[in-house]
Structure 1
């Protein structure tokens, strides 16, 4: 099984570390090209390699780990997904620059955390995300935890909980297996319409919960 990761920031790099530590082969990619990933790939070790976004998107399971505002650009023009599994690791938030005036916006309850919720109207983020990957089987996962703990799935005598949700039973089963192989404890939240909003940042009831299954 091959795992492609689109995005090499905090989520993409830490997920790659977690997968590679368990002997899973990953293809890392970003908008700057494979050469920019040489140092990260050396650090992660022999189970990681750098590729183009198209190469990462051709893997059996693809984790999309780019900021919400860059999703459309990152996924534009890729070959047909043809039923491959795509993990939506994104959240509908905008990360604010340290000098952004939005960090002092009184109407933004998340300003102190350096983020701003993106208004999607009545839709949840995975419903919108799915439109960017037509023909893919979308599973929501790897989006609710502090990404810095991902390289340590086993802690405090147990396994960190990862929530996942989706509409395709077989795709969910494959992602569940991936979560378990990486050392986490998976919990199925149901369909995208149910589980997506529950685990999605910034307002999901289960968002940011760092649970450990003992």
Structure 2
């Protein structure tokens, strides 16, 4: 399984640090050319490699870590996203619900990524928290996952565990997933909640 992070702002860098902590290879890309990201990527760790967007999109699983309004530009980079899993880390705040056709933001975003399996996840923590070690005394930091494709969630949950997190499945996007979606000018009730699951 290969992984990429598209977007190398605060969230993208925080995710890259999670991969680096576990020595898992990940490609990073953004609107900037890869040579502009290379030194930053190397500083995070040797398993983090900056490449072009087209190279990054060859990965099986792609973290979408760009501002919500830029997702359509990324989607246009491939004619088909079949076989790809997109992990949507974006938040649509403060986009009004009518601009999203009344859908949860991830369901709206998914329409742009033709053929992809989409999982909402890793979006409820601020970058500074996401950048810290998720393994804490007595437990693991929680990440919430939701999707309309039940089969897509399990491998993302496995990846979350590899990265040191405790995945919590919330069900479909418009059900439990709504708890981590921004809605107009309001945040879902689980946004910014820094929760831990104790070791079994």
TM-score normalised to structure 2 length: 0.90
Which residue in the other structure is 1:190 paired with?
171
8 Å CA contact retained: 1:82, 1:135: yes
Query: Pairwise mapping of residues 161-200 of structure 1 onto structure 2 (< 5 A)?
Result: 161-200=142-181
Which residue in the other structure is 1:209 paired with?
193
Counterpart CA distance in 2 for 1:77 and 1:2 is 18
Match for 1:144 among 124, 127, 131? 124
CA positional deviation for 1:178? 0.5
Pair member with larger Rg = 1
CA RMSD of aligned residues (A): 1.4
CA positional deviation for 1:48? 0.8
Across the two proteins, how many residue pairs are aligned to each other? 191
| Structure 1 unaligned residues grouped into runs of 5+ | 94-116
Runs of 4+ in 1 over 6 A off after TM superposition: none
Counterpart CA distance in 1 for 2:115 and 2:149 is 12
Give a deviation string over 1:111-168, Cα, whole Å, max 9, x none.
Answer: xxxxxx1113222101111012110000000100112122311124311010001122
Matched, 1:7 2:7: yes
Give a deviation string over 1:160-188, Cα, whole Å, max 9, x none.
Answer: 01000112233101100010000000100
| Structure 2 unaligned residues grouped into runs of 5+ | none
Over 3 Å counting, the alpha-carbon distance change for 1:61 and 1:159 in structure 2 is same
Query: Pairwise mapping of residues 41-190 of structure 1 onto structure 2 (< 5 A)?
Result: 41-93=41-93, 117-121=94-98, 122-151=102-131, 152-190=133-171
